[in-house]
Structure 1
């Protein structure tokens, strides 16, 4: 037992040291998983890993479920519940099994994903994990020390295919049943904050934003309609003044009208609150959605406008990574606006690897966290109307 505890302590040290040395570019959140488990209890210590017919036990229905939580630094915590059935003639500890046994297990694990060491934006996410569990086999309960590894293959920010292998050693006098448990399944990482925000609250916020935008609509520039103001609304007797006293109507050129409209649109667009993403993140929070809803209200109120969304980054990070991250941030906002009825062709999403904010954050100069946050604030630019 002392040897197993030393192994566990060593595994925890490796995980914690790795967490301090590297940062995972993902948002923290809950993890849910399901799939199948396969047990190799043949006693071969992994020397015959692909002898499926004689060494592996499995069932035909989903038999492995998990729930956990992933942190922004790459560490994760997970609990597993699994079921299996040892069939007749399967090799157990070197001997053919003569009866069928039911297998139940509950395991608690702590682990770390190494995706950041390979490609923070990639789909390949290898991990290691360790922990303890309890299993019941043939009516006997045993406590186990677990050590394993595996891979997550992320299709997007929410779904991944999971492959894993877990070695289990019974704690005690060493006479217990040691075995290997393999798993294959899917992992789902939902945005629970957005899920439980409530449709009603979102609709109320949208209504308030739209109404506020309408109420703030500036008065019509009277100079733009000066040419129509000399038309009387009602026919009535008029006294025509002498020609010498007639005041000429000031004409407004098309260019002056265009400039006035542009200035009004730019003023309204500048009043829209901009969001500032968290470090190494392109995820939109509930607070961010309220601000982006203001932009949606602007675009819906002016249905012919075309804008550019520029995702900014702070000066930290490599040029290649910052270029990718800034474009990803802009596309996140564009994707949300499309759900609010804004046509994608009206939005140009671009990135920026150059800090556009004037101040000490430029060119590697020292600056405060607030200044760094300001440099990550997105920009909205009017392109056409």
Structure 2
């Protein structure tokens, strides 16, 4: 009974591990890390003038100098290879009674520092943690302390901890050695803590992410090998289906070509007929008249002959006026004109079901002669017309 329980537990453990492994084989946001960026920081600094990290490090009241407001700004560029270049400005104030440059000062003295340093991300050696970035660095700068300017050689150790890809905290301590101690300038230590913000981010995969990517590539390669085998089996079947489709397409293309030729011939015939009707011209009317006269009768006579020649021809007759007169009157007049045009064709024996009429009044002028434009009579005359549009033939 005990053996059975152990065996069951092992099976369950293997199943859980398998499921976990399946879930792990996915590139997620956790596998993505910031590889290069700009970082700006704002925070506080504390100056320990003892010059020795082990001498009075916790003697904050007597040896640490701090101001109660943000006193440090920084900006830096950090690269994929782990190197970073950073510029830092700091302000502080030595308190009266503290020891500065081995001397007890008798009044508050301002402290200014401007430093540049080269850092190296230790995660390049110990591996990416995703949220913890320890670093070391060296640099140089200029410090005005105890009213005495001095160049300094600097060394720094610190770390950043990140809450997101952009926001984090920075904690570091820098040893600052005076380049020249001839004027009494001594060494000191500067501690700092502050908020940092990243921008201009370039991201890439962590080492673990790259391993996942390689494994996924291997799995994909095996899947491709299997698919190639399946594809080879299906190839001959696909070739046979393709030949069948090509034969069917050939027949469809022949039918489509024949249909196109038929349609082209029909369109050509329609274009020729439309041109014949257009060449007859429009039926024109005198001002305020719907009487068909002279040349217009000749046009309608020719049109009736075309319609007798082509019994299937159906037309729309549209009649129009010029812009002079009231719009309601022009609507009535165009209706009179279209009716007169139709009646004339009916008198020539054209069947009424071959004709459709539309009256547009002054709404479809052929030129600029509207109510707001002066035009001579010959231009107005262009708009007093009946037109003919093919419906079917």
TM-score after normalising by structure 1: 0.45
Question: Is the radius of gyration larger for structure 1 or structure 2?
Answer: 2
TM (normalized to structure 2)?
Answer: 0.44
